[in-house]
Amino acid sequence: MQKFEENNSIKEIRTEDEKIIDLRKSIKSRYIIKEILSFLDEYLKLNIIAYNTQFQRLFNIDVDYYRKVSGKLKVGGINGEGKEYKLDSDILLFEGEYKNGKKNGKGKEYYENGHLKFEGEYLKGKKIYGKGFNEKGDIILNIEKNGKGKEYYSNGAIQFEGEYFNGRKWNGQGYNDEGSLEFKIKYGKGNIKEYNYFGKLEYEGEYLNGKRHGKGKEFERIKFNEDDFINQEKIGIKKKFSYSHGLKRFEGEFKNGKRNGYGKVFNLLSNKLLFEGEFINGERNGYGKEYNNMENLIYEGEYINQIRNGRGKEYYNNGKILFEGDYFEGKKWNGYGYGIDGHLEFELKDGQGNAVEYDYDGNKIFEGEYKNGERNGHGKEYVNSGILSYEGEYENGKRNGIGKEYYCDGEFFEVEFQNGIQVNENVNNDSFCVFTDSESDWD
């Protein structure tokens, strides 16, 4: 460090090396810098999750480009799925696909209040197809594909080549990510296979006017944690997680790109039937049946816009009727509830009455007052086939006010809840019985 005098004051001149040292010392951000230096492919690269502008200057990184992104980032860009957040916050701004660090493929942009800003497709960071919205949800941008064009997979292989009309595939040929011909479409009609950007099957079935129309099947990709099972075999033991593709989610009729008509919904893990019935505009509407993971029928009746509405029945796992009557906005409204042995337990009128709730195996989990089709007033909760675990007041289906939590030996202490959340501390959690949530599977 050099010093000189100017106007009777001492000035200090620091070398560039000394400035860098001071800058290193000055980096004090609440945002975590993860795995700052790591050796990858015999080159020194940088992995970051969050950073600040001083960090950017020190390592010559473009902060505006490297916004806070979920997962790890390599200098030089990312490939695959990712999410972008507002700098120094958890506000999601974009989620979608990347290639060489740029938006490439399907994606969504959001305003800071969470409202959708744009949904569509990108190529080398630019919007090439989709719709943009203002914060009220009005469409303010509509980019449509028309004429000749090509779509590509992440590995560079051609996904589709031909002609588009109003953004839809109209005339041309589709391929899988290995280059094999999968389908031909003529004037928007044909038997189609839809693949995502990474070559995974998402739909197989009929097309009309460039949309899903007629019989078809939907497939999904799911993420397995190490404790998930298929056929008693663990998935992803060598990695923290792993993906499975091509699992059938839906099979049935489509109209104008949406589920319409009779269809079936399947459990992705077990491929067992979860629902069968009528769909309109992509949602359950009309008569349908629900099944549990053992494929036991647990409900049959009417739906409006995906929710139980109208006449219906619920069943225990042994096939006996649990409730029979009318539903309103997903809630039991008018009708009768029964025990697992078939005896009448209660009656509801206009969503009101003294109800008893059982799980599908016939274990009592609640008894008390109902209003508007849910717990309102005084009630009791039970565990382990009838052991009292809680007694108190409810409002809009949740614990609210002063109540009593019970030990297994029958002793209790007072607790207080506000909108289902406990606001005082437990005194001895180790002595409690195993409690259920205040919400039940009965609803």
3-state secondary structure the chain: CEEEEECCEEEEECCHHHHHHHHHHHCCCCCCCCCCCEEECCEEECEECCCCHHHHHHHCCCCCCCCCECCCEECCCCCEEEEEECCCCCCEEEEEEEECCEEEEEEEEECCCCCEEEEEEEECCEEEEEEEECCCCCEEEEECCCEEEEEECCCCCEEEEEEEECCEEEEEEEECCCCCEEEEEECCEEEEEEECCCCCEEEEEEEECCEEEEEEEEEEEEEEECCCEECCEECCCCCCEEEEEEEEEEEEEEECCEEEEEEEEECCCCCCEEEEEEEECCEEEEEEEEECCCCCEEEEEEEECCEEEEEEEEECCCCCEEEEEEEECCEEEEEEEECCCCCEEEEEECCEEEEEEECCCCCEEEEEEEECCEEEEEEEEEECCCEEEEEEEEECCEEEEEEEEEECCCCEEEEEEECCEECCCCCCHHHECCCCCCCCCCC
pLDDT average, residue stretch 256-284: 93
Residue type, 209: N
Is the model more confident about 106 or about 441?
Answer: 106
Q: Which region among 15-24, 165-174, 403-412 has the lowest average model confidence (pLDDT)?
A: 15-24
Distance from C-alpha of 161 to C-alpha of 143, rounded to nearest angstrom: 19
**Residue the block writes with tokens 């690269």:** 45
423 token code pair: 């606001």
Mean pLDDT of the chain: 78
pLDDT average, residue stretch 96-115: 90
Q: What is the pLDDT of residues 283-320, one digit of tens each?
A: 999 999 999 989 999 999 999 999 999 999 999 999 99
pLDDT value of residue 230: 36
Give ∠ CA 358-359-361 in degrees, rounded to 5. Answer: 110
Please indicate, yes or no, whether the overall pTM of this predicted structure exceeds 0.75: no
pLDDT average, residue stretch 154-167: 88
> Between the ranges 40-49, 133-142, 366-375, 419-428, where is the mean pLDDT highest?
366-375
Is the model more confident about 269 or about 401?
Answer: 401
Is it the case that residue 334 has pLDDT exceeding 80? yes
Q: How many Cβ atoms sit within 10 Å of the Cβ of residue 430?
A: 5
Is the model more confident about 368 or about 384?
Answer: 368
pLDDT average, residue stretch 20-31: 41
The answer to whether 349 touches 334, Cβ cutoff 8 Å, is yes
Q: What is the pLDDT of residues 400-426, one digit of tens each?
A: 999 999 987 888 899 999 999 999 865
